Structure 1
Amino acid sequence: MNIALRFINRSNDCGNSEVVLFQRNVVPEFDELAIAWRVIRYCGRDCIHPFAYSSDVEVALGDDHGNFSPRISAASGSRLVVAAHPGGRPRLAGSLESTLHSDIEVVNQLGRGAVNVNAYVAGHLMAAKSAVAPGQKAVFRFTPVLWIGVGSQIEEGRALASAVISSANTPFELGGIASADIVMTGGGGGERAQPFLFELENVLRL
C-alpha cells in the first residue's frame, strides 16, 4: 500500500540544505549503517516535493561489480533463499518457510561466495547488508516510521554518516495514514537562525 506524502519547505533556508529521509535500524544485530532512502534538494521556500512511501518491499542481490539480480517481492515475515542459478550466478528464490515474526530473512544457501542483499521501498534502496557469507542471513525489519533530517553532501542510496543519523531526531509514524504533508520550518542564518522543525499536517487517515 502506498502513502502519498508531500514535503513542503516553509523554512528560512530557501532550499540550500539537503533533506534526507531514512529508516533507523530496528534489528539489534543488524550492524549496517542507515541508508539515505530519499534526498530532497533545491526545494525553495513554499515549494512542494511529492513522493510516496510503500509498505511493499522488494529484495535484490548485488555484487561488488555493480551488478544486481531482478527484484522480487518480499512480504513481511517471509524467508528468501540465495541459491545457485544453472548459469552459475546466485539467484533469489522464495521459500515455503515463513519466520515467526515480521522480519524478512534472506539466507545464503550457496556452497561458496558471499552476496550483498538490498531491500527497496517504493523503488528506492532502504537498507542493505553486505558480504552475507554461506550459511548466514540478512535480516530486515521494516516498520512504517520514517526519520527526517538536514545535512549536506548526502547521496541517495548511500550509507549516512553517523553525524547525520544522530542529529535527525524527528520520527514520523505513518501507520494508518493515507496521505500527509511533511512541513519544514526554522532555519536561517546569523543570530536569527532557528533549528529546523518538521511536523505532519493535513493528515488523512485510512
Structure 2
Amino acid sequence: MDIEITFINKSFDKNNSSVVIFQKNAIPNYAETVVAWHVIKNCGYDWKHKFVYPMDFYAGAKDSYGNVSDLKLATNGQKWEVNYSDSGNTLQLSTVNAASTNEVEIKNNLTKGAIDTQIYRGGKLIASKTGVSPKEKAAFEFQPYIYIGVSSKAEEGLAMNSAILSAPFTKISLHGITRANLVMTGGGIGVNATPYKFELVPVI
C-alpha cells in the first residue's frame, strides 16, 4: 500500500529554504549516485505539501548513444539486463534471479558501451548508477526509510554532491505507516535560531 505523507512547515525559517527528500541504497559499500527524489520549495509557515511514497518502483537504463529504455515495473529479487537485439538495445527481465531477494539488479550485457542504470519511484528518479561497463551490474536495495533535510542547492532528479550531503539530514522510518504528517520545526535567525527538526506523526 502506498504511503500518504503531508509535509507541514512549522519552522521559523527566514531563508525560504528548500526541503529535500531522498533514499539511500542499503547495499553496503555500494557507490551509487544519491539523487534528490523530492524537493519542496516555497512552502511557507503553516503551509502543507502532500506527496505519496509508492511501494512500487521501476527500473530503467540509458545507453552510451543517449537512448533511454521504457520503465519496467520491478520487484525485489529480479535481475534486469540490457541486451543487444536485431532492433537495437533492449531492457529485459533475466531468467536468472538477483543475488539477493532484497535487491534489484540491472546488468549490462552489451559487448561495448557503458550504461546508466536508474530506479524511479512515483515517476521520479530516486537512484542511479552511472558508467556501468559491459558485463558489470548495478544493484539496488531500498529499506523503508527516507532522509529529509534543508538544502539550497539540491535539485529534484539530480545527483547530490558531497557538499550537499554533508548537511544534516534526518532518517525517517516508514515502518507500519500508511498516512502521516511530516512536521518541520526549528530555524530562525540570530541567537534564537535552533536546528531544524523533522518528526513523522502517524495519522489514524
TM-score with structure 1 setting the length = 0.92
Q: Are the counterparts in 2 of residues 180 and 201 from structure 1 also a CA contact under 8 Å?
A: yes
Query: Which residue number corresponds to residue 200 of structure 1?
Result: 200
The more displaced of 59-68 and 2-11 is 59-68
Give the corresponding residue for 2:108. 108
Q: Distance in 1 between matches of 2:42 and 2:15?
A: 5
Matches within 5 A, 1:131-170: 131-170=131-170
1:65: how far off? 6.4
What is the one-letter code of the residue matched to 2:95?
A: L
Aligned to 2:202, the other structure's residue is in SS state strand
In 2, are the aligned partners of 1:8 and 1:47 still within 8 Å (CA)?
A: yes
Letter in 1 for 2:69: S
CA distance in 2, matches of 1:193, 1:5: 27
Structure 1 residues 42-51 or 169-178, which shifts more?
A: 169-178
Corresponding residue pairs, total = 203
| Runs of 4+ residues deviating >3 angstroms | 63-67
**1:64: how far off?**
6.0
Aligned to 1:92: 91
User: How far off its partner does 1:152 sit?
Assistant: 0.6
**Identical amino acids, percent of aligned pairs:** 41
- Give the distance between the partners of 1:19 and 1:124, measured in 2 at CA: 16
Moved more, 94-103 or 114-123: 94-103
Q: Which moved more, 1:95-104 or 1:109-118?
A: 95-104
Q: Deviations over 1:112-138 (max 9, x none)?
A: 221111100111101001111111001
Note if contact 1:77-1:98 (Cα within 8 Å) is conserved in structure 2: yes
Cα separation, 1, equivalents of 2:141 and 2:55:
12
Matches for 1:2-21 after TM superposition, within 5 Å? 2-13=2-13, 16-21=16-21
- TM-score, normalisation: structure 2: 0.92
Task: Provide closer, same or farther for how the CA distance between residues 106 and 179 of structure 1 changes in structure 2, counting only shifts above 3 A.
Answer: same
